[in-house]
Structure 1
Amino acid sequence: MANTLKMKAASYNRYSSDAQKETSIEDQIRMNKDAIERQGWQFTLAYSDYAISGATKARSGLQAMMKDAAEGRFDILVVEGTERLSRDQEDLAGIYKRLTYYGVQIYSVTSGSFVNDMHVAFDGLKNSQFLKDLAYKTKRGQFGAIERGKILSNKTYGYDIVRRLDSDGELVKGERKINNEQAAIVRRIFESYAKGLSGREISFELNKENIPSPTGKEWLSSTIAGWQSRGKGILNNELYIGRVIWNRDKYRRNPDTQKRNKQENPKEEWVITEAPHLRIIDQDLWDKVKTRQALLAKNNLPHQKRRANYLLSYLLKCGACGGGYGLVSARHYGCTKSRQSGTCTVRKTIPKDKLEQAVLSALEYQLLNRDLVNEFVTEYNAYVKTSQSSQHAQIKSVHAQLKKLETEKSNLIKAIRDGIPASELTEEFNRNAQKREQLLSLAAQFEQPAKIITTDVASKYTDAITLFSADIQSKTPDRESIDLLRHLIDKIVITPDTEHNKLTAQLHGDLAGLFSDNAEAQALLEQSDTTKTNQQRMNNAGAIAEEPEPKSLLLRITMFFL
């Protein structure tokens, strides 16, 4: 009897640029459906990605298609050409390899044939070269635009985008004109800085007068001072002296994360053109600002180098505004938002050494509380022994199921050799492969035995506290000690107590950091019913005022500072 079952076919469609018409997706779907009808297949689904590059796998349509392919929802994937799947050689080969494993064939409408290994190798090379050629042509076009005086960057504060039509009725791109109102603010910033005001002080003044920043929100000192060596920040933007810099940066896509990372090009590759009609700052004022920046950079260099070694760097939060607390002088922590933008009212600071010593005392007390650590270790080791026993039985069951699936696979292969069409067994093959993959993954997890831990696990941390306490006196902090102790601290929230004119510093931490090199212990901590919150109160000298609950591993320690 003739086989009446139709092969199920899906369509994948993509276009990569907003410059292409949106109908190009519809055109691809129509073209692919026509091909499916001509071949006598059954159309099932269409997967589409709009205005997304073929050089990346971060596409929702592609990911949905691969998921459905793994579940056996179609037998054939129809595409206009392999470049629709990917223009990246590695990605195209990977997609082809996985679809083949799922039992799905790829049909190219352009070539009128199924895709094979040779197509993938040749098309991958051709598509990759297309991307390189496209990048070269794009850059060549941009270079021509720059030479004609165009600006290819986003809108810059102090300028407006010129919108006009050329003689052919086409929109002219890349032209700017000075925004006089914003230009006056730019001049004010440069003049104030040249007179000795800091970026922080300038931002205070602008915020006090409710002058909107480039983002329309509050001004920050970083918006003004920025990053001098990278040309970031208002004080470092050379467009204000009529210089347009192009090709300063390049982007590279990380093959693992698919994210684009910015890197600075060598200066000899920069393209600089003069645009005197866009100058806002005269040369004399620009030079004064650069001279002052160079002097401050020279004086602050040692301080900047030391900052990375601080115990509490990036762990301090302001309880009033939610911003960070950082060093506002060599020896004091303060709210950075209060000092950068003036939008937080907390002006009180905490001595760096006093806060560090109080934190060390709090951690040391917890680590030396052997009842706290020992109870968890005892509970964890009992859990390990129980799980090892049940795991042995599960391993036997998994291996038995794998053996059964291998037998089923052999029978399916034999059925094909005996004359049954492979297309009729595709779903069975897919289900068998999926089950085997799941069981093999589970078996691999079983082969990683849990470890028994000992009660002296806290000793290395108490040693680190002792070492760091000595470092505070000697002013030579040890990097290893800092890294070890920071592992136990989640954050420290500093809140003003206006009634008593003091600050409250609440440490949020977790002694689970003691077991950071033991994944099983971490998992138990996450599900343990005995994990509670411990509250202690310490005065500004770091003395303990309340006893902890012994079953707690989470820390919440309150310290007061006058």
Structure 2
Amino acid sequence: MSHTGKEGEWMKRITKIDKVEPLIPKKLRVAAYCRVSTGSDEQLASLEAQKSHYESFIKANPEWEFAGVYYDEGITGTKKEKRTQLLRLISDCEAHKVDFIVVKSISRFARNTTDCLELVRKLTDLGVFIYFEKENINTQSMESELMLSILSSLAESESVSISENSKWGVKRRFQNGTFKISYPPYGYDYVDGGMEINPEQAEIVKYIFAQVLSGIGTHQIADELNARKVPTKKGGKWTASTIRGMIYNEKYVGDVIFQKTYTDEHFSRHTNYGEKDQYLMQCHHEPIISREDFEAAGAVLNQRRLEKGITKGSGKYLNRYPFSGKIVCSECGGKFKWRIHSKNGGKYVAWCCGKHIDDVTACSMKFIRNADVEKAFVTMMNKLVYGRRFVLRPLLERLREMDRSDSFSMIQELELKMEKNAEQRQILTGLMAKGYLEPALFNKENNELLQEAAELELQKNGLSHSVNGEMVKTGEVEALLKFAEKGEMLTAFDGELFGRFVEQIIVYSRTEVGFQMKCGLTLRERM
């Protein structure tokens, strides 16, 4: 109603209300993730069954919209980085294409605690939650991550146990000579559980050995094969290191050395330099190269290596320069490689970005001279000697002033709580064994204590890591200051000194680099 302006008179006003359409709730876009750990026919059949199950399971829920099944096959589950479909699923979650994920179990999703919790937290921040069927856990309804942490730890223990059992079985096959090489080197194919010569590739292998025996360098051989467009085993480009690896590969004479590499407790692979037993099996398969040519070619490379002063062993094959493997491009993140450049009849060592060498459009960073980097290091160290009172001493004092006594006392307090927690669980178990506690009550109390124990462990590990990190950093600064306080200016580059204090070199341009010190400082220097 509204007033007309005249006292005592009112006029009625009627407004039409438009029709309100009922809100239709948006369906939840649900995807499933599944994985099998090997590429066998039985496992692939299992994968097909899982895919079919999840598609039917999701489509049967009227409130869900099927967003697809993501699956990885023939890939180990111990590290998330190697699972391309899992990474694609996460990318689709970030693009808001998926709202909810269904997984068979935690062990199918992640095999170590760090990866599992990291992925769950990342997806939770995106508003995407996960339902683990086997454990009946929905991350959306969980009050904390503690129970998931405990279950993830169990999955990690299961993974380690499976890995150890697998290693034991592999070792036994090494010892009795029944281990099958599923991915043979260039020149061979895997046929019916054995290695058979690939005639076309075998001719290339013979050509490579013949070239080495005639004195041709490995770089020149690689360039020649690339110019002829000869494909490698994986279809990539030939490199000098690939050629060297073939010359030293005993499989070309029909032998096999088992366990050249091994997997550590963190599921990372390493070259075996004697940490694990190795097993040699002779006459394992048909050879491509005679033993005489094989030994002669290896001797040629060894002689050339000795003449050039190259050290072969752990790390890079070329280890003549202290900067090897330590120079990083700020533009693309690639590692720098050394090259011999010529100018006005003279030669000098230069460092070039690996990506720029392969493709100038991928990275525009130009080369830098080895001598210039050495001079920059000398200048930087002399600046530290000169300005130690203004740079290093204040940094060391700040690190020492950080009161770590509180952290140590907190760690001790947490350890006492953990001991008390363990005692309480032991008492509970004793009462349950004597029949004084009902199973339901025991499970409730025991689960609460387990959650508390997991939380205490996480807090203790976090504090310990923080304290240890600061102690290492303090020690590095103390060592650097001790060197600087001698007051001796460098007159020439010192490779041992560089290796002691510098973690890596970051190249910002042809005229500026940054020395990333082991103590945490990054010091820029112009060249």
TM-score range, shorter chain: 0.5 to 0.7
Report the residue type matching 2:507 in the other structure.
Answer: V
1:38-64 deviations in Å (ceiling 9; x for gaps): xxxxxxxxxxx9989999998757768
Distance across 2 between alignment mates of 1:248 and 1:400? 48
Report the residue type matching 1:506 in the other structure.
Answer: E
Residue 464 of structure 1 deviates from its aligned partner by 8.1
Report the residue type matching 2:183 in the other structure.
Answer: N
Report the residue type matching 1:299 in the other structure.
Answer: E
Q: What's the secondary structure of 2:235's corresponding residue?
A: coil
In the superposition, the TM-score normalised over structure 2's length comes to 0.52
Report the residue type matching 2:240 in the other structure.
Answer: S
Residue 491 of structure 1 deviates from its aligned partner by 1.8
Indicate conservation of the 8 Å contact 2:386/2:487, yes or no: no
Distance across 1 between alignment mates of 2:205 and 2:351? 29
Residue aligning to 1:154: 183
Residue 199 of structure 1 deviates from its aligned partner by 0.9
Matched, 1:357 2:371: no
Q: What's the secondary structure of 1:142's corresponding residue?
A: coil
CA RMSD, 1 decimal: 6.3
Which of 326, 334, 344 aligns to 2:338? It is: 326
Indicate conservation of the 8 Å contact 2:335/2:353, yes or no: yes
Instruction: Summarize the Cα distance change of 1:19–1:86 in structure 2 as closer, same or farther, 3 Å threshold.
Output: farther
Residue aligning to 1:509: 515
Percent identical across equivalent pairs? 16
Which of 178, 201, 212 aligns to 1:142? It is: 178
Indicate conservation of the 8 Å contact 2:261/2:269, yes or no: yes
> After superposition, where does 1:66-465 map in structure 2 within 5 Å?
91=161, 136=172, 140=176, 142=178, 152=181, 154-159=183-188, 172-174=192-194, 176-180=196-200, 182-226=201-245, 233=246, 235-237=247-249, 243-249=253-259, 254=264, 256-259=265-268, 263=272, 269-272=280-283, 275=286, 279=288, 289-290=297-298, 292-301=300-309, 310-317=321-328, 322-326=334-338, 328=340, 332-335=349-352, 337=354, 350-352=369-371, 354-366=372-384, 368-369=386-387, 370-373=389-392, 376=395, 384=402, 419-436=436-453, 438-439=455-456, 442=459, 445=463, 458-462=480-484
Indicate conservation of the 8 Å contact 1:312/1:356, yes or no: no
Report the residue type matching 1:219 in the other structure.
Answer: W
Instruction: Summarize the Cα distance change of 1:309–1:133 in structure 2 as closer, same or farther, 3 Å threshold.
Output: closer
Distance across 1 between alignment mates of 2:164 and 2:310? 47
Deviates more, 1:422-431 or 1:435-444: 435-444
Which of 482, 489, 493 aligns to 2:507? It is: 493
Instruction: Summarize the Cα distance change of 1:432–1:248 in structure 2 as closer, same or farther, 3 Å threshold.
Output: closer
Report the residue type matching 1:325 in the other structure.
Answer: K
Unaligned runs of 5+ residues in structure 2 are: 1-35, 50-71, 80-105, 117-133, 138-144, 152-156, 342-346
Distance across 1 between alignment mates of 2:290 and 2:416? 82
Instruction: Summarize the Cα distance change of 1:428–1:297 in structure 2 as closer, same or farther, 3 Å threshold.
Output: same
Indicate conservation of the 8 Å contact 1:142/1:152, yes or no: no
Report the residue type matching 1:359 in the other structure.
Answer: F
Report the residue type matching 2:514 in the other structure.
Answer: H
1:195-247 deviations in Å (ceiling 9; x for gaps): 43211122233334444333322221111122xxxxxx2x344665xx32134
Instruction: Summarize the Cα distance change of 1:396–1:130 in structure 2 as closer, same or farther, 3 Å threshold.
Output: closer
Report the residue type matching 1:326 in the other structure.
Answer: W
> After superposition, where does 1:459-474 map in structure 2 within 5 Å?
459-462=481-484, 466=488, 469=490, 472=493
Indicate conservation of the 8 Å contact 1:245/1:273, yes or no: yes
Instruction: Summarize the Cα distance change of 1:297–1:414 in structure 2 as closer, same or farther, 3 Å threshold.
Output: closer
Report the residue type matching 2:266 in the other structure.
Answer: T
Q: What's the secondary structure of 2:255's corresponding residue?
A: strand
Instruction: Summarize the Cα distance change of 1:261–1:22 in structure 2 as closer, same or farther, 3 Å threshold.
Output: same
Indicate conservation of the 8 Å contact 2:328/2:505, yes or no: yes
Distance across 1 between alignment mates of 2:422 and 2:172? 51
Residue aligning to 1:484: 500
Instruction: Summarize the Cα distance change of 1:24–1:491 in structure 2 as closer, same or farther, 3 Å threshold.
Output: same
Distance across 2 between alignment mates of 1:178 and 1:273? 16
Residue aligning to 2:98: none
Residue aligning to 2:18: none
Distance across 1 between alignment mates of 2:277 and 2:435? 66
Indicate conservation of the 8 Å contact 2:188/2:195, yes or no: no
Distance across 2 between alignment mates of 1:87 and 1:311? 39
Residue 421 of structure 1 deviates from its aligned partner by 0.4
Residue aligning to 2:523: 555
Residue aligning to 1:35: none
Distance across 2 between alignment mates of 1:311 and 1:134? 38
1:107-129 deviations in Å (ceiling 9; x for gaps): xxxxxxxxxxxxxxxxxxxx999
Indicate conservation of the 8 Å contact 1:461/1:485, yes or no: no
Q: What's the secondary structure of 1:272's corresponding residue?
A: coil
Q: What's the secondary structure of 1:217's corresponding residue?
A: coil
Task: Specify which structure has the bigger relative contact order, considering alpha-carbon pairs within 8 angstroms and separated by 6 or more residues.
Answer: 1
1:118-155 deviations in Å (ceiling 9; x for gaps): xxxxxxxxx99998678646865738xxxxxxx84524
Indicate conservation of the 8 Å contact 1:326/1:334, yes or no: yes
Indicate conservation of the 8 Å contact 2:385/2:485, yes or no: no
Indicate conservation of the 8 Å contact 1:461/1:484, yes or no: no
Report the residue type matching 1:178 in the other structure.
Answer: N
Indicate conservation of the 8 Å contact 1:207/1:341, yes or no: no
Q: What's the secondary structure of 2:178's corresponding residue?
A: helix
Distance across 2 between alignment mates of 1:405 and 1:287? 64
Instruction: Summarize the Cα distance change of 1:434–1:555 in structure 2 as closer, same or farther, 3 Å threshold.
Output: same
Distance across 2 between alignment mates of 1:405 and 1:411? 10
In the superposition, the TM-score normalised over structure 1's length comes to 0.50
Residue 337 of structure 1 deviates from its aligned partner by 4.9
Indicate conservation of the 8 Å contact 2:111/2:159, yes or no: no
Distance across 2 between alignment mates of 1:175 and 1:348? 44
Instruction: Summarize the Cα distance change of 1:249–1:360 in structure 2 as closer, same or farther, 3 Å threshold.
Output: same
Residue aligning to 1:106: none
Instruction: Summarize the Cα distance change of 1:392–1:209 in structure 2 as closer, same or farther, 3 Å threshold.
Output: closer
Indicate conservation of the 8 Å contact 1:491/1:508, yes or no: yes
Instruction: Summarize the Cα distance change of 1:341–1:223 in structure 2 as closer, same or farther, 3 Å threshold.
Output: farther
Unaligned runs of 5+ residues in structure 1 are: 1-13, 28-48, 77-84, 93-126, 144-150, 163-171, 227-232, 496-503, 517-552
